Amino acid sequence: QLQLQESGPGLVKPSETLSLTCSVSGGSIRGSTYYWAWIRQSPGKGLEWIGNIYYSGSTYYNPSLKSRVTISVDTSKHQFALKFTSVTAADTAVYYCARQKYGWGSGRYYLSFDPWGQGTLVTVSS
């Protein structure tokens, strides 16, 4: 079955760049139906969608975060990555990668995430 695993530094200094990688196993990252997403959860708070990438490299970002976010994909390594620039303490969160189903059907947008990686805590502190 498809599995996702996040990796990257658990501690980042303020104003620096947060970089995480999501490794996909048990299935193809090239699936035409799906996108690949990053979602974060601040301590004790809810979920925030960061953005997604298609295997072709096309991306879409949350407009509220767009200026600081870059998502990329390496299909040969079955990985996709997140870069988040100029981080502050407010960016401290558990970061999840997930497979995203997204599209337009029956006159409405559909959006869901399954499966998710286990998540990785990133703390922004000097």
Partner 1 sequence: QSVLTQPPSVSAAPGQKVTISCSGSSSNIGSNFVSWYQQLPGTAPKLLIYDDDQRPSGIPDRFSGSKSGTSATLGVTGLQTGDEAAYYCGTWDSSLSAGVFGGGTKVTVL
Question: How far apart are the C-alpha atoms of 99 and 52, rounded to whole Å?
Answer: 9
Nearest to 51 by CA among 5, 115, 111: 111
Give the three-class secondary structure for 76. Answer: helix
Q: How many CB atoms lie within 10 A of CB 43?
A: 9
Q: Does 23 bind partner 1 (CB under 8 A)?
A: no
- Chosen residue from 7, 8, 23, 48 binding partner 1 by CB under 8 A: 48
**Considering the complex, what minimum distance in angstroms separates the CB of residue 100 from partner 1?**
8
Give the Å distances, CA to CA, from 6 to 13, 19, 42, 75.
Answer: 19, 11, 16, 16
Please state the closest distance from residue 13 (CB atom) to partner 1, in A: 26
Looking at 110, 123, 125, 126, which residue binds partner 1 (CB under 8 A)?
110
Task: Find the part of the chain contacting partner 1 (CB under 8 A) among 14-22, 25-33, 62-70, 71-79.
Answer: 62-70
96 lies in the binding site for partner 1 (CB under 8 A): yes
Choice between 15 and 25, CB closer to partner 1: 25
Q: Which of 20, 9, 26 is nearest to 80 (CA)?
A: 20
Residues near partner 1 (CB under 8 A) are 37, 39, 45-49, 62-64, 96, 100-102, 108-119
